Amino acid sequence: MQQEGGQVLHLPRYTSLPTVGLYLEQVVDYLNNQLAPLGDVRLTSAMVSNYVKHHLIDRPVRKLYGREQLADLAFIAVAKNVLPLADLRVAIRIQQNSRFTRASAYDSFCQELESAVQAAFTGQPLAVPVVRTTAQQMLRQLALAVAYKASVDRFFATIHETQD
């Protein structure tokens, strides 16, 4: 997806996430930068602290957040725009109980989201999956919901800009 400033959505895969721990402000800055092409998808330090408090992500170790927390926070930052907290909690539990590793689940999320955004902003159809688990179907539908919401938000932002 290309937006103002030429930004394209391409999320770093799990192995490309920072290997050194990041402090809270660094986490927020890093993820907001990665998710900027989605428009309103943003995190704040208070949000991250709340997600820790509500056990949606693991506590930082010595105030440092690692890859697993970054992957979880990227998913949460995106999903919170279309899911209520209770459903977000269930979605995380589904992933944790699946046969997929966190790295594999995160990479699938990135791929689904990028494909959904491409489809929403260009009108190109999504590739039809051959075999999908219920969790994979939910992930695709979530990615589509986020992508189409971002597309509609961008549409109205453009209209508001031309009216000002």
147: amino acid identity, one letter: A
* pLDDT > 80? residue 5: no
Q: Per the confidence metrics, is the pTM higher than 0.95?
A: no
pLDDT tens across 15-53, in order? Answer: 999 989 999 999 999 999 999 989 888 999 999 999 999
| Cα 38 to Cα 4: distance, rounded to the nearest angstrom | 11
Sign of the C-alpha dihedral, residues 147, 141, 111, 73? positive
Q: pLDDT tens digits, residue range 117-140?
A: 988 888 888 877 765 788 888 889
Contacts with 152 (C-beta within 8 Å, 6 or more apart), sequence order: none
